[in-house]
C-alpha cells in the first residue's frame, strides 16, 4: 500500500507512535509518506520505502498566525496526486483531521479521486484542547467525516463519546512498543556515570507540561531518597522544567537529580533505570511508561485515564490517585527496597509489555486499512 501519515514531528507521544508505525509499515514493504512541518524526531535511519514531505509554512506580514491547516491540506493534495497514495492516516485530530477533510474535498472535486482517511485520536486532542469550545465543532465534524476512527485506549474511546457527538464506531488499537529495541543490554559505563555507587535509578520522561505534575515526581524522589540511595533522571523539556529544577534545589536533592533534556536514544536511558515515574493528571495511554516496561523497568504511576490499562497494580508496578505523593513514595520504596523484589517487578513489567509488542499491533492497522479500502472501492 502507499500510505500517507500526517503527524506532529515533535517529542510528543502521538508523533513518536506515528513515526514508529510508519517505520514498521515500511519494513513490511509498504510505501510510507510522512507529511509534517519538520523531520520527525524518531525518523533517523534510511529506508527506501520511507518518504518525508515537508509542509512549507510561508510567512507574510499580514499573517500573525500562518494558516497551517491550509498549507497542510495543499501538501496532502500534492502528495496524493504525485505519489498516488492509497489512503491517508492522520494522528491527532487537531488540525490534521480537518486538513485531511479539506484535501479530500479538493481531490474529489478537481480530480475525481476518493481519498480514504483514517483518524487516530491520541489524548489531548480530545480531553484537553479538543473539547474546548474554540475547537469542538471542527473536531466533531472532522472526526465524523473520517472513514475510520481509532483511539489508543478504551478510556480515550469513552472520553470521546462523552465529549463529542461522534456517530461512528471508534476502534481501539492500543499503542505499541518495539520490545526488541527497548530490551537491549544496559551499557554498564552509562549506568555507572549516573549512579557511581550502585544507587537505584528513578526516571521520568515527558514534555514537562503542567498536566504531567513533574513537581510530584521530584517530591516523591525526595522521600525515596530519605530511605535508600537513589538518583533521579529527568528526561525531556517543557514549561515546568525550570520550576522542577528549583524545587530540587529547595529540597536539597539537586546533586541527585539530573535534568538531561530531550533525548533521542530513549532505549539506552530506559534500560539502565530501575523505576519509571508518571504522575500525570491524565494520560490517555502513557506510551513512555510502556517503553519503560519493555526496557524491564517497573512503573509507578497515577491511576488517571488509560494508565490502568497498561500498568497492572502490584504486578508491573503500582498506581495511586493523582497527587498522592506519600502513597506513591511508599510504593516506590517497596519496589526498590531489595534486589529480589525489584527483579520480580522488572520481569513482570517486561512480560506485560510483550503483549503490546509492535509485531502484535501493527497488523491491526494493516487490517483496518484493508477494510477501509475495501469499503471505499
Interface contacts to ligand GMT, rule CB under 6 A: 12-15, 17, 92, 122-124, 152, 175, 206-207, 211, 282-287
Question: For 309, which DSSP code?
Answer: G
Question: Nearer to ligand GMT by C-beta: 140 or 206?
Answer: 206
Question: Nearer to ligand GMT by C-beta: 150 or 183?
Answer: 150
CB of 267 to ligand GMT, least distance (A): 17
Question: Nearer to ligand GMT by C-beta: 50 or 173?
Answer: 173
Evaluate whether 150 touches 171 at the Cβ level (below 8 Å): yes
Question: Nearer to ligand GMT by C-beta: 97 or 195?
Answer: 97
Question: For 201, which DSSP code?
Answer: E
Task: Please return the burial class of 321, using the count of CB atoms within 10 Å of its CB with bins 0-12, 13-18 and 19+.
Answer: exposed
Q: Which residue is nearest to ligand GMT (CB)?
A: 123
Question: Nearer to ligand GMT by C-beta: 204 or 231?
Answer: 204
CB of 98 to ligand GMT, least distance (A): 16
CB of 127 to ligand GMT, least distance (A): 6
CB of 300 to ligand GMT, least distance (A): 16
Omega of the bond prior to 58 within 30 degrees of 0, cis? no
Evaluate whether 203 touches 279 at the Cβ level (below 8 Å): no
> How many C-beta atoms surround the C-beta of residue 377 within 10 A?
7
CB of 18 to ligand GMT, least distance (A): 9
CB of 3 to ligand GMT, least distance (A): 18
Evaluate whether 270 touches 295 at the Cβ level (below 8 Å): yes
Question: Nearer to ligand GMT by C-beta: 175 or 302?
Answer: 175
Question: Nearer to ligand GMT by C-beta: 31 or 124?
Answer: 124
**Sequence-ordered list of residues with C-beta below 8 angstroms from that of 30, at least 6 positions apart, any chain:** 1, 2, 3, 49
Residue 34's beta-bridge partner residues?
5, 52
CB of 157 to ligand GMT, least distance (A): 13
Contacts 24+ apart (CB under 8 A), 163-168: 163/126, 163/127, 163/130, 163/131, 163/136, 164/126, 164/130, 164/131, 164/136, 164/139, 164/140, 165/140, 166/140, 168/143, 168/144
Amino acid at each position: 500500500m502507499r500510505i500517507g501519515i500526517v503527524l506532529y514531528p515533535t517529542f510528543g507521544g502521538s508523533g513518536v507512535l506515528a513515526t514508529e508505525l510508519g517505520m514498521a509499515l515500511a519494513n513490511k514493504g509498504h510505501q510510507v509518506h510522512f507529511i509534517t512541518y519538520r523531520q520527525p524526531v524518531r525518523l533517523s535511519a534510511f529506508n527506501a520505502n520511507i518518504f518525508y514531505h515537508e509542509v512549507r509554512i510561508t510567512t507574510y506580514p499580514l499573517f500573525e498566525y500562518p494558516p497551517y491547516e491550509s498549507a497542510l491540506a495543499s501538501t496532502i493534495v500534492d502528495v496524493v496526486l504525485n505519489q498516488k497514495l492509497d489512503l491517508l492516516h492522520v494522528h491527532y485530530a487537531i488540525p490534521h483531521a480537518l486538513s485531511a477533510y479539506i484535501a479530500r474535498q479538493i481531490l474529489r472535486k478537481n480530480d475525481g479521486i476518493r481519498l480514504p482517511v483514517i483518524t487516530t485520536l491520541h489524548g489531548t486532542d480530545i480531553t484537553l484542547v479538543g473539547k474546548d469550545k474554540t475547537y469542538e465543532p471542527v473536531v466533531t465534524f472532522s472526526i465524523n467525516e473520517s472513514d475510520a476512527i481509532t483511539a489508543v485506549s478504551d478510556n480515550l474511546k469513552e472520553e470521546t463519546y462523552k465529549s463529542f457527538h461522534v456517530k461512528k464506531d471508534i476502534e481501539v488499537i492500543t499503542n505499541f512498543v518495539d520490545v526488541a529495541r527497548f530490551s537491549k543490554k544496559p551499557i554498564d559505563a552509562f549506568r555507572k556515570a549516573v549512579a557511581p555507587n550502585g544507587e537505584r535509578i528513578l526516571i521520568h520522561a515527558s514534555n514537562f507540561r503542567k498536566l504531567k505534575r513533574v513537581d510530584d515526581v521530584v517530591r516523591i524522589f525526595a522521600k525515596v531518597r530519605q530511605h535508600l540511595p537513589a538518583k533521579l533522571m529527568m528526561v525531556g523539556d517543557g514549561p515546568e522544567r525550570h520550576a522542577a529544577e528549583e524545587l530540587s534545589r529547595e529540597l536539597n536533592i539537586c546533586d541527585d537529580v539530573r535534568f538531561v533534556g530531550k533525548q533521542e536514544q530513549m532505549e539506552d536511558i530506559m534500560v539502565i533505570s530501575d523505576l519509571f515515574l508518571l504522575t500525570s493528571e491524565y494520560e490517555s495511554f502513557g506510551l513512555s511508561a510502556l517503553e519503560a516496561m519493555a526496557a524491564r523497568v517497573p512503573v509507578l504511576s497515577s491511576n488517571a485515564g488509560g494508565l490502568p490499562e497498561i500498568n497492572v497494580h502490584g504486578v508491573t508496578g503500582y498506581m495511586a490517585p493523582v497527587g498522592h505523593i506519600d502513597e506513591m513514595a511508599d510504593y516506590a520504596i517497596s519496589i526498590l527496597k531489595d534486589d529480589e523484589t525489584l527483579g520480580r517487578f522488572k520481569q513482570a513489567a517486561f512480560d506485560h509489555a510483550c503483549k503490546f509488542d509492535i509485531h502484535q499491533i501493527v497488523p491491526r492497522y494493516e487490517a483496518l486499512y484493508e477494510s477501509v479500502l475495501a469499503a471505499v472501492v
